[in-house]
């Protein structure tokens, strides 16, 4: 079975823009979402988002370590934003039976990643999709 997987760390808010998060952290994101940028009528997306992403062929636990490693210099700023109501999440996305996937099935979080998520008051959200017919 082939598995395609990636992860990202996001800071999300209805009131604090990605540009403001960038300015406060002093770190450029890989991706941003702007509140209501896709549809003024339905306010999609429903919040601003600042994201550091990792997409690649390596195992998702290695991708997670890479993302968290990149965030290490701004760790205190992330917690400050979280204390002010900005939500933080580590998102893991996996697609099973993906034509471009690899053979990595299991994954884990190291104690260092768990400590980072705890300090950042971040949630862990895992989405897994079965693309078999």
Q: Please work out, in degrees rounded to the nearest 5, the angle formed at the alpha carbon of residue 10 by the alpha carbons of 116 and 96.
A: 95
Q: What is the tens place of the pLDDT at every residue in 89-131?
A: 999 998 887 666 666 678 899 999 999 999 999 999 999 888 8
State mean pLDDT over 72-78.
96
Report phi then psi at 10, rounded to 5: -125, 145
The predicted model scores a pTM of 0.87
């Amino acid at each position: 079975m082939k598995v395609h997987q990636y992860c990202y760390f996001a800071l999300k808010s209805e009131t604090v823009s990605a540009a403001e998060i960038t300015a406060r952290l002093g770190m450029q994101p890989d991706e941003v979402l702007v509140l209501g940028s896709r549809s003024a009528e339905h306010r999609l997306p429903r919040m601003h988002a600042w994201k550091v992403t990792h997409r690649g062929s390596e195992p998702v636990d290695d991708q997670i370590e890479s993302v968290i490693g990149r965030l290490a210099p701004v760790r205190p700023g992330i917690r400050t934003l979280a204390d002010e109501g900005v939500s933080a999440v580590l998102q893991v996305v996996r697609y099973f039976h993906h034509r471009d996937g690899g053979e990595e099935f299991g994954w884990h979080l190291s104690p260092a990643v768990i400590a980072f998520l705890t300090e950042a008051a971040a949630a862990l959200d895992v989405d897994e999709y079965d693309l078999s017919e």
